[in-house]
């Protein structure tokens, strides 16, 4: 039984997740479009989602910088973050905390990065 993929903007595919560590089939494709006749092919690899935090670099703080929601858009968007412990503010190219996806083999048996 083949499973259809939902294609979202920027080539992101959505499938239901069964667990934090999952395995997908090697290649799936959408049926040819009746109008354009093109096919989309996907190569999928197993990944491990991790929650990435931005830790404050002020001496002795060890707090977490959280996005304030304020952003500046120029050539690239920058997002303002504030430490919840000491109040230090800094800017980043992405908002934190965020979910990142690492290859399955990047996580060691003790759940540490290798």
Average pLDDT on 27-46 reads 67
pLDDT of residue 41: 85
The tokens describing 54, both together, are 């931005």
pLDDT of residue 44: 85
Greatest Cα pair distance in the chain: 62
pLDDT digits (tens, 9 = 90+) for 48-60: 898 999 999 999 9
Contact 94, 76 (CB under 8 A): no
pLDDT of residue 35: 58
pLDDT digits (tens, 9 = 90+) for 63-100: 999 999 999 988 889 999 999 999 999 999 999 999 99
What is the DSSP-derived secondary structure letter of residue 84? T
Considering only residues 34 and 43, tell me which one the structure prediction assigns the higher pLDDT.
43
């Amino acid at each position: 039984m083949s499973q259809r993929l939902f294609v979202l903007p920027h080539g992101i595919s959505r499938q239901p997740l069964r667990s934090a560590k999952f395995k997908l089939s090697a290649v799936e494709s959408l049926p040819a479009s009746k109008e354009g006749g093109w096919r989309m092919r996907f190569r999928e690899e197993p990944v491990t989602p991790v929650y990435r935090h931005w830790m404050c670099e002020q001496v002795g703080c060890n707090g977490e910088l959280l996005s304030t929601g304020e952003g500046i858009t120029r050539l690239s968007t920058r997002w303002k973050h504030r430490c919840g412990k000491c109040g230090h503010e800094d800017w980043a190219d992405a908002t934190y905390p965020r979910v990142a996806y690492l290859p399955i083999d990047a996580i060691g048996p003790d759940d540490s990065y290798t």
